[in-house]
Amino acid sequence: MEKKIEPMTSGSISKRMIFFALPLLLGNLFQQLYNTVDSLIVGNFLGSSALAAVSSSGSLIFMLIGFLSGISSGAGVIVSRYFGAKDKNGVHRAVHTTVAFGLVAGVLMTAAGVLLSPQILIWMGTPESVMPESITYLQIYFSGSLGFVMYNIFVGILQAVGDSRHPLYYLMISSVINLVLDILFIEVFHAGVGGAALATVISQGFSAILCFIQLLRTNDSYKLQITKIRFDAKMLGQIICVGLPSGVQNSIIAFANVVVQSYINAFGEMAMAGYGAYSKIEGFAFLPINSFTMAITTFVGQNLGAGQADRTKRGARFGILATVILAELIGILVFLLAPQLIAAFDSTPEVIRFGVEKARTAALFYFLLAYSHSVAAILRGAGKAVVPMIIMMVFWCVIRVAFLAVSIPLTHAIQMVYVVYPLTWGLSSIVFFFYYKQVNWMNQINMNRKES
C-alpha cells in the first residue's frame, strides 16, 4: 500500500524541512548531472571548441525554460496552499489545470526553441567557429521541450504536497540512462554535441513519464485523471498570478545572463570553455540553495494554507539559516579546490586559468546568493511573487547589464564579468533584508483566504 503523504503543518520544523530537502538535494544533484556529464564527456572527448558550444547554450536554455519553470513553481504554491488547508477539491482543480497548461506550453516551447535558437546565438555574438555545433545542440535540446516542461510540472506537483522521494528515484534512473546514452552516442556512434543533446532529451523524457505514472497511481487528493485534464479559469488565474512574476523573473535574469555570456564570448573560445566549466561547478554548489528554497516555499505555502502564522515564521527563519550556512561552506570548498575542479572538465592551462579566476572571485560570496534566494522563496510561498521579481530584475538584470556596459569598454577586462555577480547578490540581499522585516504573516493568511 502506498504511504500517504503528510502535510508539513505539524511535527518538528527542522526535521520536516531537512527530510524534505535531502531528497531534493540528491534529486537536484542528479538533475545537474545531466548537463555536467554532457560537458565532461564533450570536453574530454570532443575538445575545447565543442565544450564552448555546449557551454554557450546554457544561458539561452534557461531563458526559454525558466519562464515555464516559474509558472510551474507558482502552480506548486497554489497546490501546497490547498493541500495544507486539506481542500481536496482545490487540490484536484489546481493539479489538472496545471497539467493542461504544461501540455500547451510544451508544444509552444518546442516551436519557439527550434526556430529562434540560430538567431539568438547570432545576437549573443557566438563565434563562428562554434556556431554550427551550438545550433545543433540547441535545436535537438529544444525538440524535447515537452518532456522538460511536463517533468517540471509533475515534479512541482509532487513537491508541493511534500513528496520529494519519488522525483529523486526517477532522476537517479534517468541520470544513469543519460550517462550510458552520452557514451553510446559520442564514443560509439560519433554523434558529436548533437548526441549529447539527444541523450539529455531522451533521459529527461523518461523521468517525466515516470512522474506521470506516479501521479496516475496515487490515491491521494493530487491524483491525476487524464479525462479531467482541463483549464479551470479561476484556478488558472491564481496560478498565473503567483507564477507569472516568477516566470518573468527567471526569463529576464536569464536574458541578462545571455548578455553576460555575450561579453564572455568576446574573449574567445578558451574564456568560454573556462567560464562554462565553472558554471557547471557553480550549478553543483548551488544545489543546497535550490533544495532548501524549494523546501521553504512548500513549507510556507502549506502552513499559510493551514493558518499557522507562528509556525510559518519559525520555519522560514530555520530555512534561511540552513541555506546560508550550507552555501558558504560549499563556497569555501570551491575556492580551495577550483584548479582541480576546472581541470576535470578541460585540462588546457588557459581554460583552467579563466575558470579558477571566476571561481575565486565569486565562491566566498555564496552566502549572499543564498540569502536572496531564501527570502525570495519565502515570499513566493506566501503568494507575494511580485516583490522578488522586482528586486531581482533591478539588481540581477538592470544593474548587472549596466555595470558591464560601462566597465567592459573602459577596462577590456574579463574580471569585470566575474565581479558583477557577487556585487549584485549583495545589493539584492540588503533590500530583501529590510523588506522581509516588514512581513506580517497573519495579514498574509487573511489575504490568501480571500483570494481562494
The answer as to whether 246 is a domain residue is: yes
The answer as to whether 9 is a domain residue is: no
The answer as to whether 422 is a domain residue is: yes
Amino acid identity of 103? Answer: L
Tell me the backbone φ, ψ of residue 214, rounded to 5 degrees: -60, -40
Residue 215 pLDDT > 90: yes
Segment 410-416 shows an average pLDDT of: 91
Residue 201 pLDDT > 80: yes
Residue 226 cell numbers, joined: 487524464
Instruction: Domain of residue 173: give its range.
Output: 18-451
The pTM for the full model equals 0.76
Percent of the chain surpassing pLDDT 70: 90
The answer as to whether 47 is a domain residue is: yes
DSSP single-letter state for residue 184: I
Residue 1 pLDDT > 50: no
Question: How far, in Å, CA of 66 to CA of 236, rounded?
Answer: 19
Exposure of 75 by Cβ count < 10 A (0-12 exposed, 13-18 middle, 19+ buried)?
Answer: buried
Question: How far, in Å, CA of 275 to CA of 286, rounded?
Answer: 16
* Angle in degrees, CA 75, 76, 81, rounded to 5: 100
Question: How far, in Å, CA of 330 to CA of 367, rounded?
Answer: 10
Q: What is the pLDDT of residue 168?
A: 84
Residue 55 pLDDT > 70: no
The answer as to whether 88 is a domain residue is: yes
Residue 35 pLDDT > 70: no
The answer as to whether 8 is a domain residue is: no
Average pLDDT, the chain: 86
Residue 359 pLDDT > 90: yes
Percent of the chain surpassing pLDDT 90: 37
Domain count of the chain? 1
The answer as to whether 251 is a domain residue is: yes
The answer as to whether 12 is a domain residue is: no
